[in-house]
Structure formats: C-alpha cells, structure tokens
Amino acid sequence: MSFSPQSKVWIYQSDREFSDQEVQQLQKQLDEFTEQWKAHGHQLQAKAEIRYNYFIIFIVDETAAGATGCSIDASVRVIKGLEEQYSVDLFNRFNMAYKVDDKVNVVNKEDFETLISIKNITPESTVFNNMVQTLDEYENKWEVPFKDSWHQKVFADLL
C-alpha cells in the first residue's frame, strides 16, 4: 500500500522504551484498529508503525477519505487505552527525545536543558520533531540535527 507524501501523520512518544514483546502486542492492536478505522463510514487508508520502541505513528492517506474529528477522536481513545494498558505516558509534550549512537533516549524538559548546558547534547545531536504533520515531513524532517530543529529556538540560550 503506497501513501501520498501529503498523508497526515500523528506521532505519539512514549516516556519509556517498549519491550520487544510489547512492540509485537502493540503492533497487532494498532493493525486491528487501522484496518477498521473509518471516517463517516468510509474506510481510511491508514497504517500505524512503532519506531525505535518509543514512537507510535499513525499515517492516513487523505486522498481517498479524510480523517474527521470523530475518526481522530477514535485514534486518541486508542492511544489513551494503550497508555493505561502499558502504563506509559504518550501525551507529555515536555518529554524530549534525542539519539546517541542509534539509541533513543527520552528525558523530561529539565534534564534535556541540563544535557544541553553540559554539552551532552550538541548542535549536531539528533532530536525528534514530533510536530511533523505529513508523511513527507515525517520522512525528511522528523529526525534532525538539534541545530535545524525547533528545539534550537526554544533552548538557544543554553548553547
């Protein structure tokens, strides 16, 4: 199944790493949801994937049918259910994710600030822009150097 570069993307970041077993269970649950995900009775061309055992990503190709408020609410209910089931926080936007040697780390905003000030996170460090909204942005602007991210603007005074 191919998706338009303009497909809508939603990224949910966990506050802890999922185990490989949890990822298998999660993927099965997400596949079951996306296979029956509808908007006003129309099947959405959608998929969900888990990246780095931290990120749940929904992709909806709106060329066939667009996601509506009700269908988006349904996906949020699924994510809230997964939060409870797996005892994770998937909605905390103050958790920051960055990558060191292909290993993803998630820390709270204060710890992230400390890591910048002690130079453990540098302008070249890879950070995740979970604000991307399209498949094209996800593929090209999700994992970016700190210096090219929104993080750089927010935390500029620490560099």
Do 109 and 96 meet the contact criterion of CB atoms below 8 Å apart?
A: yes
Of the candidates 86, 108, 13, 81, the residue with the CA atom closest to the CA atom of residue 52? 13
**Helix, strand, coil % in the chain, rounded to nearest 5:** 40, 25, 35
Residue-wise pLDDT tens digits, 74-105: 899 999 999 999 999 999 989 999 999 899 99
Q: Name residue 11's beta-bridge partners.
A: 57
Q: Where are the domains of the chain?
A: 8-86, 95-158
- Give this prediction's pTM: 0.93
What's the pLDDT score for residue 9?
96
- Please answer whether residues 22 and 86 qualify as being in contact, where contact means their C-beta atoms are separated by less than 8 angstroms: yes
List the 126-128 sheet strands across, edge first.
103-108, 95-100, 126-128, 143-145
Mean pLDDT of the chain: 93
